[in-house]
Amino acid sequence: MCTLTFGLTKKGYELFFNRDEQYSRPKAIPPEFNVLLQSIYPIDVSEQTISSRDGTWLAVDQYGMSLALLNNYPKESIQSFVFDHHKFLSRGDIILSLLNLQVSENIKLTSDSIKEHLNQLNLTNYKPFKLIVFSNQLTQTSGGIQSLNWDGENISILNISANDLPITSSSINLREARQARKETFDAMCNDSLSSSSQLKAYHFSTETDTSMSVNMIREDARTVSISHISVSDEIKFGYFDNLNQSTRVQTIKRINH
């Protein structure tokens, strides 16, 4: 239950991410810079990760590479009988394991090296997901964005462009939610180089049917946070807590890699 968009700039990129969760899920810890992992990320303290280690759904390292994790619901719904009878590891562990790999083994994270690492994790222990990788070389004229898609059986790599926006997931009425969020995006961000203000307005928007909105509200769940990562000469991670209406911004100097 998330929505991701991005915009490219001359010196880097802007990334926006709405996280939707059940009301019963524990509140996340706002993003901080982790000195050991050399990255900024919020902490997911769900029941799945409390007993083991921290998890996250979104991170940016000091070089400007970002990793974003979304659920891959279509395959889950098709094979619900399999997923309901298997105990899975938390997908929140995936991003932090990659950041740890980069630091501890000095491995440059690319889509290929990430795929190799994911295959070593025995992905059948994880529910389906999409891991979106933003290159630290990404600008209007260089770098790229790729999605590593695990469907429960196979992992594939797809190139992502502005034509694919918004990237969204929903545990309920996925097709309808995608269509509604796409129509709103096309109306509010109709330029291939959408501005930061346009993207921000989109992520805070609420439709008459709030269950289909980007800034979503349902009886059982809602958008709990809206994140904004900005990469240029410096790196900013803005985090809006939608529950208590507060904002936190973490800023670090970008290091050339």
Residue with tokens 């290091």: 255
Nearest to 1 by CA among 70, 51, 64: 70
The residue among 158, 174, 159, 86 whose CA lies nearest residue 123 is 86
Measure the CA–CA gap between 147 and 72, rounded to whole angstroms: 11
Extract long-range pairs of 176-180: CB within 8 Å, 24+ residues apart. 176/212, 177/211, 177/212, 180/207, 180/209, 180/212, 180/213
Question: Domain locations in the chain?
Answer: 2-253
Residue with tokens 């004229």: 141
> Which pLDDT score is estimated for 201?
96
Amino acid 76: pLDDT: 47
Please report the pLDDT score of residue 4 as a whole number.
98
Distance CA 242, CA 91 (A): 23
Cα Rg of the chain (Å, integer): 17
Would you say the pTM of this structure is higher than 0.75? yes
Instruction: State residue 54's pLDDT score.
Output: 74
Q: How far is CA 230 from the centre of its chain?
A: 14
CATH class of 2-253: alpha beta
- Alpha helices by DSSP H, listed for the chain, are 47-50, 73-78, 80-83, 93-104, 111-120, 174-188, 196-203
Rounded average pLDDT per 10-residue block, the chain, 257 residues: 93 97 88 97 72 81 97 59 64 94 91 91 90 97 96 93 91 80 91 83 89 88 96 98 94 92
